[in-house]
Amino acid sequence: MSYSDPNNPYSQQPQGQPPQQPYGYPQQPPAQPGYGSQPGYGYPAQQPAPPYPAYPGGPGAVQMQLPGMAQAARVILFIVAGLQIIVAIVAAIAVAAAQDVSNEIGAGDKTDGLAGLGYAVVFVVLAFAGFAIFLGAKFGNGGPGIRIATIVYAALFILLSLSNFAAGTGSSAVGGVVGLAIGGFILAAMLQSQTAAWFNRPRY
C-alpha cells in the first residue's frame, strides 16, 4: 500500500493517522468565547439602569386633574356670584327708590332705618358674591385652606337658604329649596376624597 507524499499537505493521509498540518503553519487553538459573551467569563453583561422616578412637574410626571364634582362646584360658585351681584344691584336700586319716595311724602325720617337695613343686606350679598368669586378663582392653585373656606361658604349658604322657609310664602320656599340644593352640592363636592387629595397635592 503506497502512501502519499508526506511533504504534500494536500495529499491523502494514511488511515489511522492524525491529519498532518502543513509545514510552516502552526496549529491554531480553537477560538475562545469573547469576554462577557458567556456568564462567568470576563466582565458581567451590563444591565440597563433603572429609570429615575418622575418628580412632580418633571418629565414623565402624571399631572393631577381637578375632580369633576369640584369643577362643577367651581362653575356653580361663579354662577351664584353673578346672580348675587345682580340681585344686590337690583335691591340697592329698589331701596334707593323707596327712600326717595318716602322723602317726597315727608316720611323719610321714619324709613331711614329700613333703608339702612336694606343697604346692609345688599352689602352682605355682595360680600358673599366676592367670597364665591375668590374661592372659585383659587380652585386651580389653592391649598387645604381654600377647601375649608369653601366648606364654610357652603354651610352658610345652606343656613341662609333655610331662613327662606321662615317667610312662609311659596316663592321663598322655592328659593330655599334651590339654595339648599346649591349649598348641598358644593358641600358634597368639597367632602369628596378626590377633592381633598387635589387640595392637599404637593406644589413646586
DSSP 111-179: HHHHHHHHHHHHHHHHHHHHHHHHHHHTTTT--HHHHHHHHHHHHHHHHHHHHGGGG--HHHHHHHHHH
Contacts for 186 with CB less than 8 Å, ≥ 6 apart? 73, 76, 77, 150, 153, 154, 157
Integer Cα distance of 113 and 133 in angstroms: 30
Please indicate, yes or no, if residue 73 is contained in any of the structural domains: yes
Please indicate, yes or no, if residue 127 is contained in any of the structural domains: yes
Contacts for 111 with CB less than 8 Å, ≥ 6 apart? 98, 99, 102
Contacts for 192 with CB less than 8 Å, ≥ 6 apart? 67, 69, 70
Please indicate, yes or no, if residue 12 is contained in any of the structural domains: no
Contacts for 158 with CB less than 8 Å, ≥ 6 apart? 179, 180, 183, 184, 187
Please indicate, yes or no, if residue 145 is contained in any of the structural domains: yes
Please indicate, yes or no, if residue 122 is contained in any of the structural domains: yes
Please indicate, yes or no, if residue 16 is contained in any of the structural domains: no
Please indicate, yes or no, if residue 30 is contained in any of the structural domains: no
pLDDT at 142: 85
pLDDT at 101: 82
pLDDT at 52: 46
Contacts for 146 with CB less than 8 Å, ≥ 6 apart? 135, 138, 139, 199
Residue-level pLDDT, tens digit, the chain, 204 residues = 445 555 555 555 555 555 555 555 455 555 555 544 455 555 555 555 555 444 444 444 456 788 999 999 999 999 999 999 999 999 999 988 888 887 777 766 777 788 888 889 999 999 999 999 999 999 988 899 999 999 999 999 999 888 887 766 777 788 889 999 999 999 999 999 999 999 998 876
State how many domains the chain has.
1
Q: Using an 8 Å Cβ cutoff, are 183 and 154 in contact? A: yes
Domain range for 90 is 68-199
Global pTM? 0.65
Please indicate, yes or no, if residue 36 is contained in any of the structural domains: no
pLDDT at 102: 79
Integer angstrom CA distances of residue 189 from 95, 99, 136, 159 = 36, 42, 13, 18
